[in-house]
Amino acid sequence: MDTYGNRVLKVEPFGTEHIPENERHGKPGRLFTLWFASNVTIGSYAVGYLAVSLFSLPLLPSLVALLAGNLLGGILLGLTSATGPSFGYPQMIISRRSFGRKGAYLPAALQWSSTVGWFTVNAVLGSFALNDLLHIGYLPSALILLSSMIIIGIYGHNFIHQFERIMAVVLGLFFAIATAVVMLHSGRFGHYVPLVHPGVPSFYPYAVLLAGASLSYLMSWGPYASDYSRYLAESTSRKRIFASTFAGGFIASLWFEALGALIAVYVYGNFSNAASVGIIGSFALILGPLGAASLLAIVLGTLAANALNIYTSALSSLVLDIRMSRWKAVLFSGIIGSALTVTLSGSFTSFYEGFLLLLDYWITPWLAIVLIDFFVLGHRDYREVAASPAFRRNGIFSYLLGLLCSVPFISWGYGNLSYTGFISLNYLGGADISYYVALVVTGAVYFLTGRRERISRGQKGGNRTNTSSNIQA
């Protein structure tokens, strides 16, 4: 039988099925390069830039908020990645263990919508950058990028890992040079005068919002995580998987967000037209002769991020029991994302990005359930995924309750649309802590209901061995 193994130029034959032991390959270290390359992007840079351009915060509190958000986001991403080898399934398929086969349709549909959406936003930004670099027009630029992204997604898992390994080196070297150039201007950072500081009432809410934005960005990769670790041998150390994933995502995201904050401090402290410079323009402004190279780096970063978006999008759609092969699902998602990319205007893209950030609220309660199920309740047998009933009531109940309890703590706004929950508005000064509320409430409720379910099954089984206990041991 012709095996897939570690062959890079062979189209991946597997979709959402379990990866057998004879196809397991790779080392945890490659997760570092994958999560590093996919986070050295204009998206993470924009989060740091907003600390100044939107919130007008001082530099030091901004860096502290970014550190806190990335620390928690990196931990959640690393833990989720560690579930891959034990199950050998994509991340959304693993959700069936907690939600049931049909119950998992909801997170899978949300994940598909989110991945196609971010694919579109990244492709639009990358197309603008490629056009600025080559001056060939937006449509030709978009078609070049989109076709490249779809081809990468069709080849699949091994090709993506190899591509991200190369991008980690290329982008890492360029942005190391870029960071050195930025620091040459550090003497002018002091010209920036923040409008929001510890003596201003809105300081605390804005700092919390920035930390939440940073957390949201990195943890939003959680529903992707095991898609890229499931080929590792089942015996692979979960600590090494966690460490490689955490380090890659945390270092890249924090570095690039901090770089965004530093450049924003420079631009807003030294140029009266700072607001009109824009996020991409600010990069070219401070890098001077390296401006053209920065546009190429943005294009490559877009490819690195969208390789994951289109691949995971395809896998998520298959969780909905759509009958098609993985490569056809990639093509399906790619066509929809491409149609949106060539038709969206820049202003609508900005609105759409705000809508996608709103979608991120579904992720924390989902993460709580998946992680409690695996690490605390000890459900790690891949056979339990395939044997899942249509619905698991405790998973669905815990998820909806956690999501509902977090609503009063939400403070979201983008353009003319906004929502501030009762508690956030009246007791937190507009700060958004809904992510943390959803994580804690959902995790606690799922643990209690899951533990009771396990005890009940043990009592019914008398002296029979409990499968979950064996797995946990």
pLDDT of residue 452: 72
Domain definitions of the chain by residue range? 24-346
Binned at pLDDT 50, 70 and 90, residue 413 comes out as: confident
Binned at pLDDT 50, 70 and 90, residue 467 comes out as: very low
Asked whether the predicted pLDDT for residue 358 surpasses 90, the reply is: no
Asked whether the predicted pLDDT for residue 468 surpasses 50, the reply is: no
Residues 261-284: tens digit of each pLDDT: 999 999 999 998 888 888 878 888
Q: What pTM was computed for the model? A: 0.92
Burial label for 422, CB within 10 Å (0-12, 13-18, 19+), is exposed
Binned at pLDDT 50, 70 and 90, residue 464 comes out as: very low
Residue 413 token pair: 């706004």
Residue 330 token pair: 């990639």
CATH number of 24-346: 1.10.4160.10
What's the average model confidence in pLDDT over 130-140? Answer: 94
Residue type, 337: G
Per DSSP bridges, beta strands 411-414 and 417-420 are antiparallel
The answer to whether the CB of 311 falls within 8 A of the CB of 155 is: no
What's the rounded Cα separation, in Å, for the pair 333 and 323? 14
The answer to whether the CB of 220 falls within 8 A of the CB of 308 is: no
Residues 65-81: tens digit of each pLDDT: 999 999 999 999 999 99
Q: What percent of the chain has pLDDT over 90?
A: 75
Residues 229-261: tens digit of each pLDDT: 999 999 999 999 999 999 999 999 999 999 999
Nearest C-alpha neighbor of 403 from the set 101, 92, 110: 110
Lowest-pLDDT range of 71-75, 342-346, 350-354: 350-354
pLDDT of residue 472: 33
Residue 402 token pair: 């956690």
Residue 320 token pair: 């909905």
Binned at pLDDT 50, 70 and 90, residue 412 comes out as: confident
